[in-house]
Chains A and B, each alone.
Chain A
């Protein structure tokens, strides 16, 4: 498992709707905003790359020092973004695919408004379990 990993789901309006620190490294106070900055900046790259390929998984698209950003763009242009420091493309791809399934399940919930924050604790637990499994 990666020692630093920050997973985030960004809605099509560039609003973060889910965020989770899934790394094993002890949480640092200033890490949260740094991760957000890196992921936020990576959106610029995603914006260009997303339309050049038909694949949903865009692999690692951006990097900052030793942190790499991998992105998975769903059909609805919701972006699953992972900031990580390990190179495990297959694991990350599987992780994204399974989280995508979870996300679709969330979308199927009639009480969930697409684009709003995901507050389901069940989703959170599942995502963390997947992170432990694949990353």
Chain B
């Protein structure tokens, strides 16, 4: 690229050109003002020569031709250093104007970064940058250390109307009026003068002008005088091309100028200026270059001169340091060299210029004239650039100049800026954008506004560098924006931030994103462009990662903007609060209705298993002939059904991501209702249309909520720091049709509305996947078919306690109500778990509890057969039950707390509609409630057979009160079943008070007798329970509870079922029911508690019970040799099989096993066991004549023998007893243990053997039976 054609090249050719100082009389100005120009403005268009084609010779007589040339015209008054304040003011004005101009683009969307990258540099860069830079460069013009702004020529203009023009010319160049720079010696006042007589063609006759011209020629010389005719047009209606538009900023394009300049005038002007340049100025400069060059060569060139120069400068080193550096007048050799170099530069003789600049820079450096030095370095850099050689040197010079300017302090700051700008252009011309950006960054100094502009330009440099450095671009835009903001240039700030936004959009660098969005939003707010402001502010609302104060600031400013708008906004993507859409739960009632919130949250599978048998199965009933399928349009087969007038509930999770509390109000659902369409065929198209419109409205947020067809509930939520809240909302459809829940809307802090659609994400997902299965998403679940209103049962549980103690038995009542006119019928009910809950009878409501449980004297056989009712557990209400018109019916339920813990109880009521025509024929009401069961009495039983009695057991009942505070009154113990009789072993009462207090334990000893017989078994189901099955444990109360009465027996049944699962099944088992009472707190009635202990095993090792019975003490006179004692053996077969029995009274056999048992278990024996007398006998007083016979001694002969039969063999029928006589003979007095008799049994019929576990035969050792024989006196 030709350096001269680059931006910098053109800039230099514009700026570093000969200056013409213009001096004119007021009348000249007046004449030109007729055309609304100043004199200079009138001449300016002609000062720019694109092809002047003047032959020039260099100092060394090399000829070349000047092509491009320019003159700069200034009034003498302007030839001075510009006022800094004024310049600053002007620059600020430039920026402000540029900002105002951009207002239209301000609200537009930030560009996509791709389009930014693709756009060319020129269209992207704001055009005012160049103008601004130029103005900035001009603020340091006419400085004393540079020569290119020194006027080369003086143009003196006098009007032909002036009196005595010659004198005027003399007066004009009066030394007093000249610029101070000329007077104080920094500029050469001796310059080429050119005298112009401006002739206003209208007012003064031409003859007078020519006469004056002749006079001038004679006075000043023929060459340098000129007559300039203007305003020859009479009517002032001449039109010209917009020659001046570039020079006169305050006229707009296309505006017609009232111009008195005829085309002849223009030609003359042009010719005048060209002559001035080519015939006067250029030759003058050429000549001066020659002169100076000779002078410089003579004094400075050559080895001798250099040595001399160095020597001379060395001598000056001792001079005191002048902070501003030494001052040079125009006549000093340094200034002369500088003039020479600058003139050479202006005449495009760069080689000459460069060599002189080089020469000069060493001088200045030695002199420590830093400002001059920097100026020379700067020019050297530029010359290198124009010559397009040695880039490195050029850059080095610029760098050197820049730093030197900065070094000399604030006075060099603006020079440094100019130098930097030139440097930047130099780098840009060589595509070194990255370096250019860093130079721009260095230019930005104390002047904030200028720095802002520089930083912005730096950012564009980063953008245009290859590869583009977008992040740097964004960063510098933000930096510049911040500075603009500091200077109150909000519009510029917004513009830069908007550029940054296109880089930072969607960034994961959260602090950056928040900063940019927040500030741009805030500034838009200042400007009153609220919609964009809000849009940006919305981005930063969910700033959980920021500190608390920042969050507060964000939210406060945001709300402030909202308030300023004075409107309520609705925005689609409000991030505050965060809505957890996957958490959305929909609760609606089709044929399933719920009595309470609690019932809704129960798993559907639980209800389904409960209602399994109750509701008509779909598969059997809905075939293609069925009416129902006709009534439901095909389209809605899969959508949900809900009933008009019944609320659909939605639970949504709201989360506050911030550390500050926020308040949400007016949370409602957004719904769409389309009325029912009669034609199923027409449905499709309309449905589609609805879908489309809904999508449209979802994006705009305007939902015409047709309040007539549905009603919505509203909720207000206050979310604390980081809190998550579940919000429940309802929509109640009023009319038939389809209802779609589209989304949710809410208001943040009472001013900003937000809404969120549920389906959008899911729908998009569906499209992307293209999976048909995913159609069954939440989106579909939110569409409802609303059918005609139906009766709906409402259910309440009355008298429901929250906490009960284990065993508590009470009556609660279920109230069913149907507010609708249409009756419901065919009610059925099922409860779960049946161990806790039983359905009572209608009459149970009226009876007094617990009196109803008391045993009546005249007892009918009240034992209901439990089995028939509990088979399926479904309780049908009486046939004629029908509920309507809000008349409640109540039904009793029995509640018994069977086990401690938190218990959930379920109840489902099935009912059918009174009128057949409705779409739904049946519904179910689901009731769910929880109770907490606290532990109360803990009952345990220890049962052991009583050896001395046939089929009797001793029972120890341990009762511990496990409750924390409550006392219980143990009332009654019953054994269940006909075959058992129970009684207290001793009727004493050990309880100090009636109540068993908390933590107390007590034991009772009871006797249990099995009285099962064959006859009993036959009529097991129909007999009345025996009177003796109950024991009243409470003295002073005769009342006994009838445990076979309604609820207790059922509960007992389920308790049996329950406990059977836990225990092994025993055939020989007994169930106990302990009834206790306590005074309840809430009412005077006593609570009844029943404790069911089932399947307590009474099984013994053999099915055979046998005892030996006979006299315990006999007296005999042993004068006779022996005495035969007759005993009897009673054997009972308690099994259901025939048993064959062999009695084997062995003489020698000793009961080793039994004694072994005794000794082994003697430590901590629990329950009932044999006590061997053998230990005790030693303690008994050794009465004379009494001999203890130790049966263990095997070597001794037993002192008695079995006599009657050596072995008895017989068979026993099931459940029968038999007595067998036995006899022993004793030979001496003493106490005899008859336990050595053993009994062998075996089941006679092998076929009856049902299970392997039962042993088929065994041996029973005899129980200890002592017989004492005394000597009869």
Contact = CB atoms under 8 A, between A and B. Distances in A.
B549 interface: yes
B475 A32 contact: no
A17 to B, nearest CB: 9
B471 to A, nearest CB: 5
Interface centre among B467, B509, B547, B550 (most CB of A within 10 A): B509
A48 B472 CA distance: 13
A14 B509 CA distance: 9
Contact of B511 (A36, A43, A45, A47): A36
Given A33-B514, A33-B515, A44-B469, A38 B508 contact: no
Interface centre among B467, B469, B472, B475 (most CB of A within 10 A): B475
A29 interface: yes
A37 B512 CA distance: 6
Contacts of A44: 462, 469-472
A16 interface: yes
A123 to B, nearest CB: 18
A16 B509 contact: yes
Interface in A13-46: 14-16, 29, 32-33, 35-38, 40-45
Contacts, number: 43
B508 A40 contact: no
B478 interface: yes
B645 interface: no
B474 interface: yes
Contacts of A47: 467
A48 B469 CA distance: 10
A38 B475 contact: yes
Contacts of B550: 29
Interface string B1225-1267: 0000000000000000000000000000000000000000000
A35 B469 CA distance: 18
A6 to B, nearest CB: 11
Nearest to A38: B475
Overall SS of chain B's interface = helix
A interface, size bucket: 10 to 19
B549 A37 contact: no
B515 A41 contact: no
B512 A29 contact: no
Interface in B443-480: 462, 467, 469-472, 474-476, 478
A41 B471 contact: yes
A15 B508 contact: yes
Contacts of A37: 475, 478, 512, 515
Nearest to B512: A36
A41 B509 contact: no
B475 A33 contact: no
Contact of B509 (A40, A42, A45, A48): A40
A25 to B, nearest CB: 16
A16 B469 CA distance: 19
A32 B549 CA distance: 13
Nearest to B549: A29
A40 B550 CA distance: 21
Contacts of A40: 471, 474-475, 507, 509, 512
A33 to B, nearest CB: 4
Given A16-B508, A16-B509, A36-B509, A41 B547 contact: no
A103 B472 CA distance: 27
Given A16-B509, A29-B549, A43 B514 contact: no
B756 to A, nearest CB: 26
A2 to B, nearest CB: 20
B547 A33 contact: no
Interface centre among A29, A41, A47 (most CB of B within 10 A): A41
Contacts of A48: 467
Nearest to A16: B509
A29 B478 contact: no
Interface in B826-875: none
Interface in A52-75: none
Interface string B512-523: 101100000000
11 contacts: A14-B508, A16-B508, A29-B549, A33-B512, A37-B478, A37-B512, A38-B475, A40-B475, A41-B469, A41-B472, A44-B470
- The 3 closest A-B CB pairs, nearest first, are A41-B475, A44-B469, A33-B511
Interface of A: 14-16, 29, 32-33, 35-38, 40-45, 47-48
Given A15-B508, A35-B511, A44-B462, 11 more contacts: A29-B547, A29-B550, A32-B511, A36-B512, A37-B512, A38-B475, A40-B471, A40-B512, A41-B472, A44-B470, A48-B467
